[in-house]
Amino acid sequence: MQFENTLAFAKKMDKNDPLKPFRKEFYIPRVNGKDSIYLCGNSLGLQPKSVEKHVMTEIEDWRKYGVEGHLHARNPWLYYHHLFTKPLCDLVGAKKDEVVCMNNLTVNLNLMMVTFYRPKDKQTKIVIEGSAFPSDYYAVEQQIRFHGLDPKENIIELLPRKGEVTLRTEDIVATLEKHKDEIALVLLGAVNFTPGNSLT
Ligand SMILES: Cc1ncc(COP(=O)(O)O)c(C=O)c1O
């Protein structure tokens, strides 16, 4: 595909978008009387219209069975991670023994850093985007302290250039190159946190 920076090209891509029919499956917040352009996918996404029914199923089963819902609810809670495996595989393109749904994001982040952050000798620093989601930042600070190190000296923040809001790939690469002998871990989301959260 040849990208063109024009309105006509954007409209053409919208028209042929195979995911287009999914738009009507979501509630879209209105701003100044118009549907907002909702780009926030990494924090709280839009509410699917089907979600209320599914949440109510669990509320009803909780009321009906109490703790026995773990075994007798329509979706037995004890096995909830198995229930998510197939859709998660489809979503991320993985095999079923490669994914598991568990915990919340920050707990998982800490678990991953316990495994992958192994500061040794000069290689002690963690690279993270500046103005990252606060709990991501706190988790990074906590992991550094856990190893008896000072977060002030061991976090390298990636910042956009003056007057810009997104990180440039070449700047990320330059930072990694510059600090390669001190970096123990790079923690980067697929979406830049700050611009990924604007609601216009
Ligand atoms: C980038 C990022 N990190 C961390 C969190 C916190 O997630 P949780 O409450 O599941 O730990 C969020 C939630 O929106 C997020 O968007």
**Which tens digits make up the pLDDT trace of 14-33?**
999 999 999 999 999 999 99
pLDDT given at position 197: 54
In a domain? residue 97? no
Per-residue confidence band for 41, with pLDDT thresholds at 50, 70 and 90: low
| Pair 193, 119 in one domain | yes
Q: What is the pTM of this model?
A: 0.75
Does residue 104's CB lie within 6 angstroms of at least one atom of ligand 1?
yes
| Pair 109, 188 in one domain | yes
| Pair 40, 72 in one domain | no
- Tell me how far the alpha carbon of residue 182 lies from the centroid of ligand 1, in angstroms: 27
Does residue 136's CB lie within 6 angstroms of at least one atom of ligand 1?
yes
Count the Cβ atoms, other than its own, within 10 Å of residue 155: 18
Q: Residue 37 pLDDT more than 60?
A: yes
pLDDT given at position 18: 95
Last residue of a domain, which of 34, 67, 92?
92
| Pair 139, 183 in one domain | yes
In a domain? residue 34? yes
pLDDT in tens, 49-102: 999 999 999 999 999 999 999 999 999 999 888 989 999 999 999 999 999 988
- Tell me how far the alpha carbon of residue 174 lies from the centroid of ligand 1, in angstroms: 28
In a domain? residue 73? yes
| Pair 109, 176 in one domain | yes
Domain containing residue 145: CATH number:
3.40.640.10
| Pair 42, 54 in one domain | no
| Pair 78, 110 in one domain | no
pLDDT in tens, 112-166: 999 999 999 999 999 999 988 889 999 999 999 999 999 999 999 999 999 988 8
In the numeric block, which tokens belong to residue 117? Answer: 């952050």
CA distance 167 to 10: 23
| Pair 73, 151 in one domain | no
Domain count, the chain: 3
Does residue 103's CB lie within 6 angstroms of at least one atom of ligand 1?
no
pLDDT given at position 1: 82
In a domain? residue 1? no
Question: Cα 169 vs. chain centroid, distance in angstroms?
Answer: 19
In a domain? residue 144? yes
In a domain? residue 80? yes
Q: Residue 195 pLDDT more than 80?
A: no
Does residue 193's CB lie within 6 angstroms of at least one atom of ligand 1?
yes
Q: Residue 7 pLDDT more than 50?
A: yes
| Pair 149, 175 in one domain | yes
- Tell me how far the alpha carbon of residue 7 lies from the centroid of ligand 1, in angstroms: 33
Q: List the domain range (segments joined by +) for residue 20.
A: 7-47
CB 158 within 8 A of CB 127: yes
CA distance 27 to 37: 12
pLDDT given at position 199: 41
- For Cα atoms 106, 112, 113, give the angle at the middle one, nearest 5 degrees: 90
| Pair 59, 119 in one domain | no
- Tell me how far the alpha carbon of residue 43 lies from the centroid of ligand 1, in angstroms: 6
Does residue 194's CB lie within 6 angstroms of at least one atom of ligand 1?
no
Ligand 1 atom closest to the Cα of residue 193 is: 1
Whether the CA torsion 33, 39, 45, 46 is positive or negative: it is positive
| Pair 190, 121 in one domain | yes
